[in-house]
Structure 1
C-alpha cells in the first residue's frame, strides 16, 4: 500500500495555512511583524515541512521534534520577529490554538471541497471565522474586566456590592467637580437608612427615559474597589443614591465613575 504525494500541492497548502496562522497570531499579540516577514516565515515553514517529509525511513521521534519544535520555532522567529522568551511561548501556544480553530472551521465548511479555488476561498472564510471567534472572546473578557466588587464605608458601617465601571458615567458635582458614583437605593443597608447623614448634595442627573432630574449624594468615609487581584482605596468618595432600577445592568448595583482610576 502506498500514497501518491504531490510535493508542489503540499507546499502550497502548507504555505497558505502557515501564512494565515502567523497572521492570526501576529494580530492577537499585536506584533510588529510585516506581511513580508510573515510571508518569509510561512515560506520557510512550508519548505521545511516538505524537506522533513522527504526524509526516508520511519524516524518518528526525530520527525516529531522537527515538525513540532524546530519548524514552529523557525516560523515564529522569522515570521513574527519575536525574541523575548515569554512572548515566544505565548506565540508558540497560540499557533496551536489557532491551528485547532482554523482546522476545525475548514473541516466544517469545506468537507466536500475538491477544487483548489474553493479550497483557498474556504481557507480565507475559515480565517475570518476564527478571527471573529477570538474577537468575541476578547469582548467578553473586556466586559468582565469592567466588573468589580466595591465596599463602601459610612459611619463605621461597610456595605459590599457588585459594581460596573462605566466609561459613559461622567457624573460629577457641578461645584466641586468631584466624580459621583451611583448606588442603587434598594440595596442600601438598613443601618445606613437609620442614620442621620449630613452634608447631602443634590446632583443633576439624567438617564434613559428621563431627560433630567436630581439625585442626593453623600460623602462616604472611604470606598475599596477590588478588580481581580488589584484593589484601590478612595478616600471621601461622593456616592449618589438613585431610585431608578433601569439605570443598573443585571446584577450590578453600583455604577463607578472611571475618573477615579
Structure 2
C-alpha cells in the first residue's frame, strides 16, 4: 500500500495548528504567528519519525511528554513555570476534547469494517478512507468551534456578576478612571461589528468630554448633521447603537470606540478589554454613586491578560 506522506503531514500540520490556536484562545495568550506556525511544524514533524529506525520512540510515553513540552515552549515561550504548566495542561485538555470528538464521530459513521470468516478487516488506501477525510476536513473544524463555544460558556458561568471593578478608560486624549459593574443583563452589542457595548453614566462624566460630544450624546439624531461639526478625531470613532428597554420603544445611543479599556478586578488581575464600544447614556446607573459604568460580560471573556 502506498503512503502519501506529504498529504498526511499537511493534514497533521493543520490539526496541530488549530489545537495550538485553541489553547492560546482559551488561555487568552497573545498569539504570535511565527510561533504558532513553528510549533505546528514541530508537532507535525513526528510523522517523519515513524519512517526512521527511531520509530519505537514514537510509542514511548516519556517521549510523547517531552515532545509535547517542546511543542508548547516553541509555541508560547517560557516566561515562568506556572505559565508553562498552564499552557501544557490546557494543550492536553483541548487535544483530548477535539481528539475524543473525532474518535466518537468516526465510530458513529464508520462502515468500512467488515468480518470475513470470523476475522475483522478494514478497507483503506494510501490516502486514507473517504469517511476519515470527511471527518477530518469537515468534522474537526466543527468540533473545534463547538469546543471553543462551550469553553467560553463555562467561562461566562465563572464570572462573578454584580462585582464592581476598576476601569481605566482612554478615549483620544481623555483618561477616565471609573468604577464598573459586571452585569449579566447587559447584552448590548454593536449591530455592525458585534462588539460588546459598555454603558457609561454621562450625567456624572459629561465634564470629561467636549461640549459638542455631550450635546450629541443627548441628541443622537444630530449625528452626521453638517451644521453640527464635532471634529474628525471624534467622528471616526462614532457609531449608533440601537437598544430597547423594558416597556420602551426602540431608541438609540451614541457609541464611541475607545483607544484602550483596562479592567482590574478585586484580585488585582488586569485585563485589556479594548475590543468594545462605549455607549454614552444619561440615565443614572447608581443612585448611590457606587459605579459609573455597566460592563458587558463578553468583555471579560475576550479580554487579554496583562502579564507581570
Displacement, 1:57?
A: 7.6
- For 1:105, the equivalent position in structure 2 comes to 101
Residue in structure 1 matched with residue 21 of structure 2 by the alignment: 23
* Larger of the two Rg values belongs to structure: 1
1:123 to 123, 136, 140: 140
> Shift of the alpha carbon at 1:15?
2.0
1:50–1:170: structure 2 CA closer, same or farther, 3 Å change rule?
Answer: same
SS of the aligned residue for 2:45 comes to helix
Contact 2:162–2:183 (Cα < 8 Å) also in 1: no
Q: May I ask how many residue pairs the two structures share in their alignment?
A: 169
Distance 1:210 1:46 in 2: 57
- Give the TM-score of the pair, scaled to structure 2: 0.43
Correspondence for 2:261: none
CA distance, structure 1, for counterparts of residue 183 and residue 137 of structure 2: 43
Query: Which string of whole-angstrom CA distances, capped at 9 and with x for unpartnered residues, describes residues 166-206 of structure 1?
Result: 486989x99xxxxxxxxxxxxxxxxxxxxxxxxxxxxxxxx
* Separation of aligned partners in 2, 1:43 and 1:90: 22
- 5+ residue gaps, structure 2: 111-128, 164-180, 187-198, 205-244, 250-264, 269-287, 294-308
Task: Output the CA distance in 2 between the equivalents of 1:229 and 1:36.
Answer: 33
The match for 1:83 is 79
* In 2, Cα distance between equivalents of 1:77 and 1:229: 28
Across the aligned residues of Structure 1 and Structure 2, the Cα RMSD in angstroms comes to: 4.2
Secondary structure of 1:83's aligned partner = coil
Shift of the 15–166 alpha-carbon distance from structure 1 to 2, 3 Å rule, reads: closer
Partner in structure 2 of residue 33 of structure 1? 31
2:155 to 117, 125, 138: 138
1:66 has 2:63 as partner: yes
**In structure 2, what is the equivalent of residue 93 of structure 1?**
89
Deviates more, 1:92-101 or 1:32-41: 32-41
> 2-side partners of 1:11 and 1:256: how far apart?
60
Give per-residue Cα distances to partners, 1:72-103, cap 9 Å, x unaligned: 12111212234322111001000111011111
1:45–1:166 CA distance, 2 compared to 1 (3 A): closer
Moved over 4 A (4+): 3-10, 55-61, 167-171, 227-230
TM-score, length of structure 1 as denominator length:
0.50
Which residue pairs with 1:42 in the alignment?
40
Query: How far 1:33 sits from its partner (Å)?
Result: 2.7
Does the residue aligned with 1:38 lie in a helix, a strand or coil?
A: helix
Q: Distance in 2 between matches of 1:60 and 1:121?
A: 27
Q: Match of 2:28, SS?
A: coil
Kindly indicate whether the alpha-carbon contact (under 8 Å) linking 1:110 and 1:119 is maintained by their aligned counterparts in 2: no
Q: Is the alpha carbon distance of 1:259 and 1:98 closer, same or farther for their aligned partners in structure 2, counting shifts above 3 Å?
A: same
CA contact (8 A) 2:49 2:58 kept: no
